A = this chain, B = another copy of it.
C-alpha cells in the first residue's frame, strides 16, 4: 500500500502535464513508436497457404459441432464471431457442463499474437486449434475420432482434397488445424478509431480518448500492452508489483510456469491483447471482472503500483473503446451432410 500511496504525487504530475500532450501530432508521433495499425488484409502464415478453398474449409470446421465428442460445441461456441470472438462467460462451459479453467481469449486478431493461449503454450493458431478439440473439459474428442468423423462425410473429403491439393491423404488432424488457422487468420478487425487516429485522422478519437491514450502511455501500460494488438506480444507476471486477490488471480493457476517449469514464470501470463477489449468482458484469465474501468484500476495497482484516479481509469477505458475495429463479415457456412458411418454424438 505504501508503494501505491507514494506514487500518487507522480500521477498528479502526469495529470497536470496531459494538456501539453493534447497536441494531436505529438500524441500520434509518440503512439506510433509503440503501436501498429491492424492491416486491411490478413498476414501471410508461416508454412500455410491461405487459398480460398482452405479458408472455406476452415470456416466449415470452425462452425462444426461435430468436431466435439458430444456434437454440441464448435470452435464458435467459445470464440463467437458475433460477440467479439469470445463467449462472454467467466470461463467457458464445455463437455458435460464442465467449467473450464480460464477465460476464453478472443479469436479476433489472434493471428498477430506472439503465441496462443493465456500461457502461450501453442506457437500458432494451427497448434492452438488442436487443443480445445481434445481437452476433456472442452470438446473432449480424440484426433482419431475427429478424422474418422471428417472422412465419413463426402462433403469434407471433397473440401479437404480441394484445400490440400496433391496430398495423398488430405483428411488429417494436422490439415484440420491448418485449415482452421487460415480461417481464423481472416478474423481481423481493421479501421478501429485508434487505427484511424494513427493514420492521421485527428477526429477519430474524442478528447477523453486522447487523454486516455496519453495516460496509457505515460502511466506505463505500454510496458506490456504495445504493438499491433496492444498486447499479446510478451509474457509478464500478473501481480508484477502487488499480487491481486485470489478471485482475480487464483492460486491454483500458475500460468506459464506449467509450460516452462521455470520459477521465474510463476503466475506469468501473456499480456492480454486489448484489441476489441470493450466487446470481450469479462476480463483477466480468471474472467471475474466485468467492468473495464475496474480492470484498468486493478492493472494499475498490480502491474504499475499506481492507484489510478477514477478519471484516469475512465479516460483509459474510453481510449480502450477506440480499439473496437470493424467486425468480420462471416457468412454461416453450410456444413457437409453426415455419411452412413459418421460416428454418433456421444454426450455422456
Which residues in B have their C-beta under 8 angstroms from that of A290?
Answer: 344
Which residues in B have their C-beta under 8 angstroms from that of A88?
Answer: 65-66, 71, 338, 345
Closest to A97 in B: B97
What are 17 A-to-B residue pairs whose CB atoms are below 8 Å?
A: A63-B82, A64-B82, A71-B89, A80-B335, A82-B332, A82-B333, A82-B334, A83-B335, A84-B337, A90-B345, A96-B97, A97-B97, A99-B347, A278-B337, A291-B340, A330-B331, A330-B332
Tell me if A188 is interfacial: C-beta within 8 Å of chain B: no
Tell me if A81 is interfacial: C-beta within 8 Å of chain B: yes
Among the listed B60, B97, B279, B340, which residue makes an inter-chain contact with A347, where contact means beta carbons less than 8 Å apart? B97
Pairwise interchain contact A89-B347, C-beta atoms closer than 8 A: yes
Q: How far is the CA of A332 from the CA of B72 in the complex (A)?
A: 19
Near B by CB (< 8 A), chain A positions 56-77 give 60, 63-66, 70-72, 77
Among the listed B83, B93, B335, which residue makes an inter-chain contact with A70, where contact means beta carbons less than 8 Å apart? B93
Pairwise interchain contact B337-A279, C-beta atoms closer than 8 A: yes
Which of A80, A278, A281, A337 has most chain B Cβ within 10 Å? Answer: A337
Tally chain A residues at the interface, Cβ within 8 Å.
41
Which residues in B have their C-beta under 8 angstroms from that of A327?
Answer: 334
Q: How far is the CA of A70 from the CA of B87 in the complex (A)?
A: 11
Contacts A65-B87, A72-B89, A279-B337 aside, 19 further interface pairs with beta carbons under 8 A come to A60-B82, A64-B82, A65-B80, A65-B83, A71-B88, A72-B77, A72-B93, A80-B335, A82-B333, A82-B335, A89-B345, A90-B345, A93-B347, A96-B97, A97-B347, A99-B347, A329-B332, A330-B331, A330-B332
